[in-house]
Amino acid sequence: MPSSLFTDDQEALRSMVRDFVDREVAPYVEEWERAGLIEPKLQAKAGGLGLLGFAVPEQYGGSGTDDYRFRCVIMEELARVGAAAVNVAFGGFDDLVGPYLTDLGTEEQKQRWLPGLCAGELRTAIAMTEPETGSDLRGIRTTAVREGGGWVLNGSKTFITSGAQADVVVTFARTGEGEFSLFLLEKGMPGFTQGRRLDKLGQRGEDVSELFFDDVRLPHDSLLGTEGAGFRYLMERLPKERLFIAYYGLAAAEAALDWTIAYTRQRRAFGRPVADFQATRFTLAELSTEIDVTRAYLERCVLAVNSGTLTAVDAAKAKWWATELQNRVIDRCLQLHGGYGYMREYPIARAYADARVSTVYGGTTEIMKEIVGRDLVRP
């Protein structure tokens, strides 16, 4: 069933994005994976074309549109060529950090950071997870204590996407008993160490790093938003982050199915194409149906984001279902590739490794089910 989600404006963007991806991304994906680093100039090239900061107001360098369908087009085109790491790099600003700066930043903070981020000249990250704390954000140990006119930050973070490259890091810290706040940390601050790049299973082109804070002295204007409101800020913005993960999961599943249909048509076994076997056709039929049904729900979620009505529960449903689907589809598609599916020269092998984290980051499948389940039994 053809999707009715996108307008002519989004399809016009798709044409430009597809050209950009085919020219600037697809030929280099494997090179970046081996190097463990995406070419730094790619971000600036994307920014120059207006592919970053869609929801950022124009006066700060963005496009000034909060229509999430534009972001969906970019995710689909990156998934088409198996560029999961690039998707994380772009989405790390647009869907994770950008909303915090745009919604909560002072005029000075916005002027200082947003133009460079939209242009792709600066990188950013958000630091929540700690070595002893994953999804349980209330258990974090990083502290920010008032001293003089500013703050002193101590602690550490881990699994921070773009952490080694970030020029500014939105950092979640404990500022009192049961109280949390957000701070803007700048690269090069005394006591702020951007640690080693961790050796990941998938999405190897985008760095994930450790961060360390040893008596980092922060000026008073490093506070992002209101003191003590950090946890609420996270809860308000996590639904969009989870939709970002869910939608790319759907796009990656669709791409994997397309690759596999093409492969089974040309690959021969026992004298005939693999696609001619009933077992193959049944598998493809099941995967196609599951993907189409999932798309129907996620398109409703996209429209809900646009109208400001996407709830935490609906986003949790989208996130756990779509990412589990992503892993299930890619696993079965790899099986249909046979031994070649295990070779990294085939995009299905990279997609298999890239997909595994999707049921973990942004909140595990188990946490997502807990969110949905609590809502169902709430009096």
Cα 196 → chain centroid? 21
Q: Which residue has the tokens 């989870």?
A: 242
**How far, in Å, CA of 169 to CA of 162, rounded?**
9
Q: Residue 151: how many CA atoms within 13 Å on its side-chain side?
A: 25
**How far, in Å, CA of 190 to CA of 20, rounded?**
39
Helices (H), ranges, 173-308? 230-266, 278-307
Q: Which of 241, 254, 286, 324 is catalytic?
A: 241
| Residue 343 exposed, middle or buried by CB count within 10 Å (0-12, 13-18, 19+) | exposed
| Residue 246 exposed, middle or buried by CB count within 10 Å (0-12, 13-18, 19+) | buried
Cα 367 → chain centroid? 18
Under DSSP, the state recorded for 133 is B
* Nearest residue to 19 (alpha-carbon basis) of 45, 37, 1: 45
Helix, strand, or coil (residue 36): coil
Residues composing the chain: 379
**How far, in Å, CA of 255 to CA of 75, rounded?**
11
**How far, in Å, CA of 158 to CA of 130, rounded?**
5
**How far, in Å, CA of 11 to CA of 28, rounded?**
25
**How far, in Å, CA of 92 to CA of 194, rounded?**
17
**147 tagged catalytic:** no
The catalytic site residues sit at 241
